[in-house]
């Protein structure tokens, strides 16, 4: 790689601008606010009077905050169910629709169409389906026992097609000769999956895992549009709790601390993703 | 050919059933959207349609839909253009020249895009207030450009790095400067990647809710996605209008997907599997 660019060692000054301008834009709208976010998490702020430094009080407050506990539990459930089921469903559909054959393009497109819908449109579609007098006698979104799962279904409906595409791209890289040889040896479909497909998908699996964790922790739109985290916080995720704490309760310091918690949860995955990106560069 | 074998029949039965189940919610919403309010009120959502009307579409469109669609155009087009222009320039410099610290810069930019947006919401909202651009489409554009840059730069520099060096060398010998080489040679060769990212960026930005409700407040400036939430509040239990609104909101991204299907899918795969 270095030999390729060696003849261009001298960097013309204009190219520094090519890098600096985007870097400054991102610095101003991402890195600078991120630093402020960590700082605000150590303050008490209503957005009007100046922020007051309170040290780690916001974090201490979480310990006694029942809504925070619910949001953490729900975020964990969301990570396992949304992440796990979309991975299993996406992989299953990718394996089913892996081989190029007649009609396979239509099936792939059918699973993929929801991916291009916004999560708000998706949630309205499902709200129509959930209405009393339709499939259900009373909306599962109105019942605290079922609200979280009722939100999960539309989120999965949209995510499975996306994960399927990631796995289809990975499956394309597998040498078809391996399958032919296995067929000649009389291998069953399961044996082919277990001994050819799965081992070959190693790097795709780790990518899918990162994407899923990052997406799960970011999930906001679908819950916000369907339930706003209710009823009685039963479908509250950390992301929705953070938003309502910031922009409805105007507790900006506490909301920032909640955002830091989300950051910490995502941190490991972000670093893994960056390490892989670094290795490939 | 495989359709005649029994394994082919099983495949089509399984894949066909799943596909139909997957499309069923869309069909249900399309049907609801063309029913009249009175029909739904009298017969219920589950009944077979007894009416056919575009009144729901007309209501959704005239009560904010048209304005919201225009706002979405005003946000999405400049955001996609600016994001790709800036990130292509950065990617060119970072991939074809020995910029000091280039690897760290690329990863830093990508890291910014991987941050959970929640950590940025409060500061970004306050920053736009401070600059006097809160509640303007301009704020939404710059915020989304800033947040997306890292990802687009990362993908584009990978693509540009894989280009053969000879073209650039030949152009340099012919006296072309770095900007000319970028404009005349590298950018045209990057078109497939740019098309894939443009299709992806379009849907992401058009579908955004979080940034919009963080830096915007007035319904007059809301793009389609947040406006759809407002429509839901305004037309409680007018399910034909809500269904029609969802259909209208989905049309632009479905159109982009159908038109750029190949680019779109390859973009998704590149973004993650790279």
Q: Quote the number of domains for chain B.
A: 1
- The domain spans of chain A are 57-280
Measured from the Cβ of residue B46, the count of other Cβ atoms closer than 10 Å reads 14
Segment B221-260, tens digit of pLDDT: 999 999 999 888 888 778 899 999 999 999 999 998 888 8
Segment B55-98, tens digit of pLDDT: 889 989 998 889 999 999 999 999 999 999 999 999 999 998 88
Confidence of residue B4 (pLDDT cuts 50, 70, 90): low
ipTM associated with this complex? 0.89
B260 at A interface, C-beta within 8 A = no
Strand partners, A53: A43
pLDDT of residue B270: 64
Could you tell me if residue B265 is inside a domain?
Answer: yes
| Domain with residues A57-280, CATH architecture | Orthogonal Bundle (1.10)
Q: Please, what is the angle between helix B137-161 and helix B102-114, to 10°?
A: 140
pLDDT greater than 60 at residue A7: no
Confidence of residue B271 (pLDDT cuts 50, 70, 90): low
Chain A positions in Cβ-Cβ contact with residue B124 (cut-off 8 Å): 29, 33
Across the interface, which of B16, B94, B143 has its CB nearest the CB of A19?
B94
Q: What is the DSSP string of B121-137?
A: HHHHHHHHHHTT-TTSH
Could you tell me if residue B125 is inside a domain?
Answer: yes
What is the mean pLDDT of the segment spanning A151-176?
90
Q: What is the pTM of this model?
A: 0.90
B21 at A interface, C-beta within 8 A = no
- Kindly report the CATH number assigned to the domain that includes residue B174: 1.10.3720.10
Segment B165-208, tens digit of pLDDT: 887 888 888 888 888 999 988 999 999 889 889 988 999 999 99
B166 at A interface, C-beta within 8 A = no
Could you tell me if residue B167 is inside a domain?
Answer: yes
Could you tell me if residue B25 is inside a domain?
Answer: no
pLDDT of residue A56: 92
Strand partners, A52: A44
Across the interface, which of A22, A128, A220 has its CB nearest the CB of B239?
A128
B155 at A interface, C-beta within 8 A = no
Beta-carbon separation of B25 and A125 below 8 A:
yes
Chain B positions in Cβ-Cβ contact with residue A7 (cut-off 8 Å): 165, 169
Beta-carbon separation of B15 and A96 below 8 A:
yes
What is the mean pLDDT of the segment spanning A138-153?
92
B253 at A interface, C-beta within 8 A = yes
Could you tell me if residue B104 is inside a domain?
Answer: yes
pLDDT of residue B100: 87
B266 or A22, which is more confident: A22
What is the mean pLDDT of the segment spanning A127-135?
82
Those residues whose C-beta lies under 8 Å from the C-beta of residue A119, and which sit 6 or more positions away, are A154, A155, A158, A221, A222, A225, B207, B209
- Residue that the structure tokens 């925070």 belong to: A68
Q: How far apart are CA A171 and CA A180, in angstroms?
A: 15
What is the mean pLDDT of the segment spanning A77-99?
93
Closest CA to A22 of B150, B57, B4, B13: B150
Q: Which of residues 48-77 of B touch A (CB under 8 A)?
A: none
Using alpha carbons, list the distances in angstroms from residue A14 to A21, A57, B97, B139, B177.
Answer: 11, 48, 12, 28, 10
pLDDT greater than 80 at residue A2: no
Question: Which structural domain range is residue B65 located in?
Answer: 58-273
Q: How far apart are CA A132 and CA A122, in angstroms?
A: 18
């Amino acid at each position: 790689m270095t030999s390729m660019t060696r003849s261009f060692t001298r960097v013309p000054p204009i190219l520094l601008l090519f890098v600096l301008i985007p870097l400054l834009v991102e610095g101003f709208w991402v890195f600078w606010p991120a630093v402020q976010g960590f700082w605000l998490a150590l303050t008490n702020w209503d957005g009007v009077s100046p922020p007051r430094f309170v040290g780690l009080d916001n974090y201490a407050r979480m310990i006694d905050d029942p809504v925070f506990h619910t949001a953490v539990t729900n975020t964990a459930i969301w990570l396992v169910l949304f992440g796990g089921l979309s991975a299993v469903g996406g992989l299953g559909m990718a394996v089913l629709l892996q081989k190029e054959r007649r009609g396979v393009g239509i099936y792939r497109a059918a699973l993929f169409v929801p991916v291009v819908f916004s999560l708000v449109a998706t949630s309205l579609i499902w709200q129509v389906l959930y209405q009393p007098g339709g499939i259900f006698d009373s909306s599962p979104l109105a019942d605290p026992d079922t609200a979280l799962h009722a939100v999960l279904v539309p989120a999965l409906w949209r995510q499975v097609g996306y994960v399927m595409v990631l796995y289809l791209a990975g499956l394309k890289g597998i040498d078809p000769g391996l399958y032919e040889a296995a067929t000649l040896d009389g291998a069953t479909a399961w044996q082919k999956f277990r001994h050819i497909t799965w081992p070959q998908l190693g790097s795709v699996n780790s990518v899918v895992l990162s994407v899923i964790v990052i997406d799960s922790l970011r999930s906001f739109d679908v819950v916000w549009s369907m339930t706003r985290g209710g009823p009685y916080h039963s479908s509250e995720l950390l992301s929705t709790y953070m938003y309502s704490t910031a922009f409805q309760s105007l507790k900006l310091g506490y909301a920032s601390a909640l955002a830091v918690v989300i950051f910490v949860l995502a941190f490991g995955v972000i670093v893994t993703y960056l390490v892989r990106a670094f290795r490939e560069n | 050919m495989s359709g005649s074998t029994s394994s082919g029949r099983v495949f089509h039965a399984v894949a066909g059933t799943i596909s139909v189940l997957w499309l069923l919610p869309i069909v249900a919403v399309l049907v609801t959207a063309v029913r009249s309010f009175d029909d739904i009120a009298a017969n219920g959502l589950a009944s077979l349609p007894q009416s056919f009307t575009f009144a729901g579409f007309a209501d959704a469109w005239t009560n904010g839909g048209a304005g919201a669609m225009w706002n979405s155009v005003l946000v999405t087009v400049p955001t996609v253009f600016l994001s790709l222009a800036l990130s292509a320039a950065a990617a060119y410099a970072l991939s074809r020249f020995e910029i000091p610290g280039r690897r760290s810069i690329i990863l830093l930019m990508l890291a910014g895009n991987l941050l959970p947006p929640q950590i940025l919401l409060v500061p970004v909202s306050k920053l736009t207030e401070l600059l006097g651009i809160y509640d303007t489409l301009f704020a939404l554009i710059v915020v989304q450009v800033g947040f997306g840059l890292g990802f687009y730069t990362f993908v584009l520099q990978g693509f540009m790095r894989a280009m053969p060096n000879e073209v650039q060398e030949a152009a340099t010998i012919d006296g072309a400067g770095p900007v000319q080489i970028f404009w005349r040679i590298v950018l045209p060769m990057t078109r497939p990647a740019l098309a894939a990212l443009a299709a992806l960026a379009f849907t992401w930005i058009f579908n955004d809710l979080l940034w919009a409700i963080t830096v915007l407040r007035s319904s007059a400036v809301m793009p389609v996605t947040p406006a759809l939430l407002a429509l839901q509040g305004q037309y409680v239990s007018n399910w034909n209008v809500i269904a029609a609104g969802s259909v209208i909101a989905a049309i632009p991204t479905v159109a982009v997907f159908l038109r750029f299907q190949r680019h779109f899918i390859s973009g998704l795969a590149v973004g993650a599997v790279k």
